[in-house]
Amino acid sequence: MISIITAVYNQLAMNQLFWEKLNQYTKNKFELIIIDNASTDGSADWFESVGVKVIRNEANYSYPHSQNQGIAVAKYDNLVFMNNDVIVSPNWDENILASMEHNGLEVATVCGIEQIENFLATRTLKRRWKKIKNFVGLLGRSKWVLSLMHKLMYPDWNKFSNDRLDKFKYQIKEGFVGNTVVMKRSAIDKIGLWDERLQQADFDLYLRTKSREIEVGDMKTVHICLDTFIHHYIRLSMKAGYPPFIDSKNFIGMHDKWSPEYMKYFDSLNK
């Protein structure tokens, strides 16, 4: 059983496609908790109409604040922090939970266009997506267009996903792909909630697991599960624009929190 926490601001077509594929491809029982950051296009109403729990904010809050709101009401011990602009793969939840169990991980992410098994494979995938996104994206952002992009990128989504599962089963590498983070509640007991001062929340999470592994030794650094791929539309939806974060006055930089000893890990991920 899993609790999926997703923050949204508008993007109704994307939200509908996200929900459709989540239901189609998720194997375990799940709850979806939507943190709606003052959408104006009916997204909150639509999610409620299909039975999803919606927390309505009166303004646009940052990612870490939104995720902590979701944690406060989540029912289950397997927490998934997921973007809305993704399409999950068949049995994605079962696959990543199995990999986490096999590898002794309490925090893990999927792989995706942002990063797969090596630099060359990632570059090839990114270039293919960029061509499709830039060309088909000229047609707009409707659900049909978004689906067409995905179909052109992966003509047989099931085969693509299952081939990766067969080839990379239980294989992991240190790092993260931020569109989908899976965290056991036991990890929150060790490293705490998302730090609402950090807009670069994924990098901060990586460093918190890294420091816990080094200094305490009772958990592993977050790893990418190479057998579980989720498609991410990446910056496509950013073009719609977002109002400023209402809590931005609280933000600090990574260097304000972390010592040079740990920032070397941060800098290595940014190369």
State residue 101 phi and psi, 5-degree precision. -65, -45
The model's confidence at residue 81, banded by pLDDT at 50, 70 and 90, is very high
pLDDT, tens digit, for every residue of 89-148? 999 999 999 999 999 999 999 999 999 999 999 999 999 999 999 999 888 889 999 999
Angstrom distance (rounded) from CA 82 to CA 231 = 12
Predicted local confidence at residue 270, as pLDDT? 65
Q: Where are the domains of the chain?
A: 2-117+158-269
Q: Examine the pLDDT at 19 and tell me if it is beyond 90.
A: yes
Q: Examine the pLDDT at 271 and tell me if it is beyond 80.
A: no
Give the whole-number percent of the chain exceeding pLDDT 90: 89
Q: Examine the pLDDT at 190 and tell me if it is beyond 90.
A: yes
pLDDT, tens digit, for every residue of 193-242? 999 999 999 999 999 999 999 999 999 999 999 999 999 998 765 555 67
Give the bridge partners for 172, in sequence order: 225
Question: Tokens standing for 94?
Answer: 């079962």
Predicted local confidence at residue 154, as pLDDT? 98
Question: Domain 2-117+158-269 carries which CATH code?
Answer: 3.90.550.10
How many Cα atoms sit within 13 Å of 85 on the Cβ side? 19
pLDDT, tens digit, for every residue of 142-172? 999 999 999 999 999 999 999 999 999 999 9
Nearest one of 104, 218, 115, 123 to 170, comparing CA atoms? 104
**pTM, to two decimals:** 0.95
The model's confidence at residue 267, banded by pLDDT at 50, 70 and 90, is confident
Q: Examine the pLDDT at 261 and tell me if it is beyond 80.
A: yes
Give the bridge partners for 36, in sequence order: 8, 56
Residue scoring higher pLDDT (73 or 139): 73
Angstrom distance (rounded) from CA 204 to CA 202 = 5
Mean pLDDT of 16-29: 97
Task: Yes or no: say if 187 and 107 are a contact pair by the CB < 8 Å rule.
Answer: yes
Predicted local confidence at residue 115, as pLDDT? 96
Q: Examine the pLDDT at 266 and tell me if it is beyond 90.
A: no
Mean pLDDT of 4-17: 96
